[in-house]
Amino acid sequence: MDEVRKKMSRKAVIDLGTNTCNLLIADIYPDGSFKTIYDRKLPVKLGRGGIHKKILLPEAINRGIEAFRNHSKTIEEYKAEEVKVVATSAMRGASNSVELTKEVKRLFGWDIEIIDGEKEAALIFQGVSLSLPDDLKKYLIVDIGGGSIEFIFAHDNKMIWKRSFNIGIARILELFRISDPILHDEIISVEEWFDQNLRELWDFCELNHPSILVGCSGAFDTFMDIYEQTDPDLKLRKASELPLQEFYKIHHRLIESRSDTRSRMKGMDMIRVEMIVIASVFTNFMLRKCNISKLIHTHYALKEGVMREWIEGK
C-alpha cells in the first residue's frame, strides 16, 4: 500500500460553465484509474445580463475570479500537483473572454482552455461512460447547462452521435418573461420553442428510439437530491435510477412552486432555485417527446471526462 501511495498523484480539474464553476480533485493510480476525493460547484452566473450580447459583464468576471480564488484555496489545501481548467458556452460565446483568461493566468498561473460544443459533448460522454453499467443498450445522455445543452446517443456504451445546442437555461430565462410560479401558457410557449429549436434531435430520436435518458450534472443532480432528500453539497456516487413517476411528482412540485418555496425544499441546490423550473419543463417535454421509459442520473459528467482524457494523455 505504501508503494502504491508513492506512485499515486493528485490532479484537479476546474470546469467553468455558464452558471457554475466546478472543481474535481482526484487521486490518480498507476493503472490510470482515478478516485474522486473532492467535488464542489460554486455559482458564477457568467452569462447573466450579457449572454445574448456575447459579452461577459464586469460583475460576471468578478464572480468568476472569486470562484477561482475559492477553488485555489481548496486545491492548495488538498495538495493537488497539477490543475487543468476548461471553459464552455459562456466563455466560447463572449467576445471579451480574454479578460477573464488573462486575469486567471495572472492571479493563479492557470491557462483556461475554451472548448467547443462538439468537444464538450465528447468529454461528457467520456465522463458519463465511467459511471454506467455495461448492459445498457440505446440511451441518450443529456447535460442541461446554462449556456448550452449537450446530447449524446450511445449504443452498447459506444458513442454514435453527439450535438451541442446553444439553448441553455440562462439563455431561455433572458428570452422569456417567466412568472413565479410559472404559468401554464408560459410552459406551452417554452415547449414550443424547444420543439422548434431541436428538430434535429427529435428527428434523430424518431429514427433511433433511445429508451433510456441518462441525465448528468446541473439540474439532474438537483432532481435526484430532491428525490433522495440529501445534502447536495458533496456527491461522490456514480449512477442510479430516478423512477419516472418520482420525477413527475418533482416536476409538478417545481412548476407549482414560488422561488421562496423552492429555496426551502429539502435537497434543493440554492444555485438552481432560479433555473430549475425551466430545466424541469424541458426534461418533462423531452421524456414525452422521445417516449423515454427510464431515467438514470449520474454525477459523472464533463469534469470527469476531462480528467479521464488528461490521464490517458489524449
User: What pLDDT does residue 217 have?
Assistant: 87
Q: What percentage of the chain carries pLDDT values higher than 90?
A: 90
Contacts of 206 (CB under 8 A, 6+ apart): none
User: What pLDDT does residue 139 have?
Assistant: 97
Contacts of 279 (CB under 8 A, 6+ apart): 144, 169, 218, 219, 272
pLDDT, average across residues 189-193: 97
User: What pLDDT does residue 33 have?
Assistant: 94
User: What pLDDT does residue 3 have?
Assistant: 47
pLDDT, average across residues 222-241: 74
pLDDT, average across residues 193-197: 97
Check whether 14 has a pLDDT greater than 70: yes
Q: Do the domains 125-302 and 2-114 match in fold?
A: yes
* Grid coordinates belonging to 289: 417527446
Condensed to tens digits (0 to 9), the pLDDT of residues 116-128 reads 999 999 999 999 9
pLDDT, average across residues 279-308: 97
User: What pLDDT does residue 250 have?
Assistant: 97
Scan for cell 447536495, then name that residue: 232
E strands, 145-293, where? 149-155, 158-165, 212-216, 239-241
pLDDT, average across residues 194-214: 97
- In order of 129, 255, 308, the CA distances from 159 in angstroms are 9, 33, 16
User: What pLDDT does residue 237 have?
Assistant: 58
pLDDT, average across residues 17-36: 96
pLDDT, average across residues 170-183: 95
Check whether 236 has a pLDDT greater than 80: no
- pLDDT, mean over the chain: 94
* Grid coordinates belonging to 134: 455495461
Condensed to tens digits (0 to 9), the pLDDT of residues 64-105 reads 999 999 999 999 999 999 999 999 999 999 999 999 999 999
User: What pLDDT does residue 7 have?
Assistant: 64
User: What pLDDT does residue 229 have?
Assistant: 76
Confidence of residue 228 (pLDDT cuts 50, 70, 90): confident
- In order of 20, 34, 147, 240, the CA distances from 67 in angstroms are 9, 24, 18, 29
Check whether 183 has a pLDDT greater than 70: yes
pLDDT, average across residues 196-219: 96
Identify how many contiguous H helices and E strands the chain contains and give both numbers.
13, 11
The third-level CATH classification (topology) of the domain covering 125-302 is Nucleotidyltransferase; domain 5 (3.30.420)
Closest to 216 measured CA to CA, from 136, 145, 294, 312: 145
Condensed to tens digits (0 to 9), the pLDDT of residues 47-57 reads 999 998 999 99
ω into residue 133 within 30 of 0, thus cis? no
The alpha carbon dihedral of 173, 174, 180, 183 has a sign of negative
User: What pLDDT does residue 238 have?
Assistant: 76
CATH class of the domain defined by 2-114: alpha beta
Closest to 207 measured CA to CA, from 199, 215, 219: 199
The alpha carbon dihedral of 244, 250, 253, 255 has a sign of negative
Check whether 286 has a pLDDT greater than 70: yes
Q: How far apart are CA 190 and CA 169, in angstroms?
A: 11
User: What pLDDT does residue 284 have?
Assistant: 98
Domain boundaries, the chain: 2-114, 125-302
The reported pTM is: 0.94
User: What pLDDT does residue 282 have?
Assistant: 98
Check whether 4 has a pLDDT greater than 70: no
Q: HSE of 3 in the Cβ direction (CA atoms, 13 Å)?
A: 0
- In order of 84, 206, 285, the CA distances from 194 in angstroms are 34, 16, 9
